[in-house]
Amino acid sequence: MQNPKAKQAVKAPLGRRLFNIVVYLFALAGFGIIGAWAVFKLGLTNNRGAVDNNYRYLMSVSELEELEDAELTPQQRNALWLDQYIKLAAFGKYYPENAHLILEAAERSDDPKLVDRMIAAASLYTDSSDAYKELLADLNKVFRGRESQLRPTVIPWMATTEWEMLKPSIMKDSAALIEAGRLTGVEPRLIVACLVGEQIRLFNSNREIVKKYLGPVKMLSVQSQFSYGVNGIKEHTARMVENHLKDSSSEFYMGKHYENILDFETDNHEMERYNRLVDYRNHLYSYIYTGCILHQTMLQWRRAGYDISDRPDILCTLFNVGFSQSHPHGEPRCGGSHISVDGRLYTFGAIGFDFYYSGDLAHAFPYWKKHFIEDNGVPLTPAQIDSIQQNVSNCARPEKGLEYKQDSATLAW
């Protein structure tokens, strides 16, 4: 039999070996952790990447020459935008999706540099023999080979002093015009188109007075004789507008939501109507009546089977000639009062049409997808009606009916 002491001697080395193995494992783990920490701290795991083959081209795109907007004239900015659209036209012929995305960005941006960079970045994937570049070269050759016209606009009356003096006056009323559009459910740009026709007419009828007094302070002409306000609303026309709002059986009826927008505060409707329209400080009511005339006329024609909601020329013409001459039919024509501007003869409807589609002042009066907002059947609350009625200022007005007095020297203009 083996000696017990010998057994103990055999077991002791095995235990030590197990112990040593555990110690070695912990030591290795420690060295691993310390090694990983050292590799991390020394940055040995960093992916340095590679230089893009197009590095210099990409750098040139991001370093396009800066153009400070403050140093650019409107003509220079227009020229820059035209260059971008020429590029987009060529790019869109071969890469329509990219051109569409860039065009969307252009519509939201006021920075020609951004569009230029987007085109340059997209052009990175075209080569020197690409058909796009060939087409772009042809377009630039044709475009730059033609002599430029000295006339700034193709519409003659919009290149006159009258229009340049009138624009800031309209902009001063932008809040009232937009509010009138909201209240009457009419695209404000349509209301402005009628305003432009009337004010251009007044400017040429009273040229010296407007240039001397109203032009320098950027004010609109307010009529107080046979027609009232900045849009020349006749009293009998205003009464018809009010009646149409209340008469649900009328072909001009705008609906429940609009019934009370012209409600009176007093029983003296004649004087209150006059004070609303012949207001030199607040023109909101003039624009509300204008919006109602446009909306009511449009509905009359639509109910007769003719949709003129997208015909600013016809709407402006009918605003000018009045309800009595609004007879729906299939072949309406642009016309109205004749207006002479800088030696050329226009009609009221043509001037409204020209302005509407000119794009001028579109930043303040943008184009709506639908030009009229339909009745939602919800009447205005008393608080909303009261809010509208507060838009009459306490300004001095000429005596109503002064135009009928014999002493023409006392007539107010």
Q: Tell whether 130 and 183 lie within a shared domain.
A: no
Q: Are residues 190 and 274 in the same domain?
A: yes
The C-alpha atoms of residue 334 and residue 315 are separated, in whole angstroms, by: 9
Q: Which of 142, 172, 202 is the last residue of a domain?
A: 142
Residue 39, in any domain of the structure? no
Please, which residues bridge with residue 340 across strands? 345
Give a yes or no: residue 6 inside a domain. Answer: no
Torsion of CA 165, 168, 169, 172, to 10 degrees: -170
Tell me which of 142, 166, 188 is where a domain ends.
142
Q: What is the pTM of this model?
A: 0.76
- Mean pLDDT across the stretch 89-101? 86
Same domain, 321 and 404: yes
329 lies in the same domain as 204? yes
Q: Nearest-CA neighbor of 194 among 348, 304, 298?
A: 348
Average pLDDT of the segment spanning 19-27: 65
Q: Which residues contact 364 (CB under 8 A, 6 or more apart)?
A: 171, 174
411 pLDDT tier (thresholds 50, 70, 90) = very low
Kindly report, residue by residue over 212-257, the tens digit of the pLDDT: 444 454 678 888 888 999 999 999 999 999 999 999 999 999 999 9
Torsion on CA atoms 84, 92, 153, 76, rounded to nearest 10:
0
Q: Which residues pair with 345 in a beta bridge?
A: 340
Task: Give the rounded percent of residues in the chain with a pLDDT score beyond 70.
Answer: 75
If asked whether residues 303 and 398 sit together in one domain, one would say yes
Burial class (CB in 10 A: 0-12, 13-18, 19+), 241: buried
Same domain for 108 and 246, yes or no, is no
Closest-CA residue to 337 (of 359, 352, 326): 352
In the predicted structure, residue 360 carries a pLDDT above the cut 70 = yes
Would you say residue 49 lies in a domain? Answer: no
* Single-letter code of the amino acid located at 331: E
Most confident of 72-81, 195-204, 396-405: 195-204
Q: Which helix (H) or strand (E) holds 341?
A: strand 338-341
Statement to judge: residues 166 and 136 lie in one domain: no
Burial classification of residue 31, based on how many CB atoms lie within 10 Å of its CB (0-12 exposed, 13-18 middle, 19 or more buried): exposed
Pick from 230, 227, 235: nearest CA to 214 = 230
User: Domain range spanning residue 381?
Assistant: 156-410
Residue 18 is assigned to a structural domain of this protein: no
Q: Is 368 contained in some domain?
A: yes
Q: How far apart are CA 207 and CA 209, in angstroms?
A: 6
Q: Which of these, 342, 377, 357, 265, lies nearest to 311 by C-alpha position?
A: 357
Kindly state whether residue 318 falls inside one of the protein's structural domains: yes
What's the confidence (pLDDT) of residue 339?
93
Domain count, the chain: 2
The answer on 313 and 164 residing in a single domain is: yes
The answer on 208 and 101 residing in a single domain is no
Q: Which of 107, 142, 177 is the last residue of a domain?
A: 142
**DSSP one-letter string for 17-59:** HHHHHHHHHHHHHHHHHHHHHHHHHTTTT-------TTHHHHH
Q: Are 234 and 95 within one domain?
A: no
Indicate if 241 and 338 belong to the same structural domain: yes
Whether the per-residue pLDDT at 7 is higher than 70: the answer is no
d(CA 396, CA 377): 38
Q: Which of 212, 228, 211, 197 is nearest to 318 (CA)?
A: 197
Q: Which of 19-23, 37-41, 101-105, 362-366 has the lowest mean pLDDT?
A: 37-41
268 and 309 housed in the same domain: yes
In a domain? residue 66? no
Mean pLDDT of the chain: 82
Instruction: Please indicate, yes or no, if residue 190 is contained in any of the structural domains.
Output: yes
Give the side-chain half-sphere CA count within 13 A for 123.
21
- Range 380-398 average pLDDT: 95
Q: With b meaning 16 or more CB within 10 Å and e meaning fewer, what string describes 284-317?
A: bbbbbbbbbbbbbbbbbbeeeebebbebbbbbbb
